[in-house]
């Protein structure tokens, strides 16, 4: 998202008042265990197809020992997975797609990584739906971390979601 298209003032968000905590996120999204990338969802604005969530990046994440041992940096693929989980939370929570269906990652376009995300960071991800429908979605996402008291852009991408099918059919496959 270009700076002049900034959908939300991150400094104005109240992270103590969550729209959804981890237990609510797990009620909505399918990921479990180490693959749950969201800590909380701070806001959902269905009139603008806007969603803001975050991940508190911990020192004992499964990737910290190997990426990279002397300078742990959250892998770009996990940054994109965090964004994908945030956008899928939106489409399920807003009943764009039924809970009986699986929404999966259909593509990542225009991904750019600008600032390392490290243990101790709170990664705040803002997603804005450009196309939001039952068959597919496209969200522009931007992830931010605080450095020197201000938010800086860590990454941006366009996340495509696809409706893979009904769980009952997929579980038999």
Half-sphere exposure in the Cβ direction for 77 (13 Å, CA): 3
63 in Cβ contact with 109 (< 8 Å): no
Q: How far apart, in whole angstroms, are the C-alpha atoms of residue 74 and residue 119?
A: 8
Whether the ω angle into residue 68 lies within 30 degrees of 0, i.e. cis, is yes
142 sits in the region (left: phi over 0; alpha: psi -120 to 50; else beta) called beta
Structure tokens at 42: 């701070």
Selected catalytic residue, list 49, 67, 121, 144: 67
Backbone angle region of 75, left / alpha / beta, with phi > 0 → left and psi within -120 to 50 → alpha: beta
Q: Is 49 a catalytic residue?
A: no
**Which residues does the annotation mark as catalytic?**
67
């Amino acid at each position: 998202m270009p700076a002049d298209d900034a959908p939300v003032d991150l400094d104005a968000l109240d992270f103590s008042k969550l729209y959804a905590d981890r237990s609510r996120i797990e009620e909505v999204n399918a990921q479990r265990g180490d693959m749950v990338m969201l800590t909380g969802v701070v806001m959902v604005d269905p009139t603008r197809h806007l969603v803001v969530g975050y991940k508190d990046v911990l020192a004992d994440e499964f990737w910290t020992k190997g990426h990279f041992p002397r300078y742990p940096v959250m892998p770009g693929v996990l940054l994109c997975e965090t964004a994908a989980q945030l956008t899928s939370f939106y489409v399920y929570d807003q009943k764009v797609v039924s809970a009986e269906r699986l929404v999966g990652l259909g593509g990542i376009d225009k991904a750019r990584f600008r600032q390392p995300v490290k243990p101790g960071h709170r990664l705040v991800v803002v997603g804005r739906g450009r196309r939001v429908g039952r068959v597919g979605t496209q969200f522009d996402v931007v992830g931010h971390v605080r450095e020197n008291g201000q938010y800086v852009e860590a990454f941006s991408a366009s996340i495509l979601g696809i409706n893979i099918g009904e769980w009952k059919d997929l579980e038999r496959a």
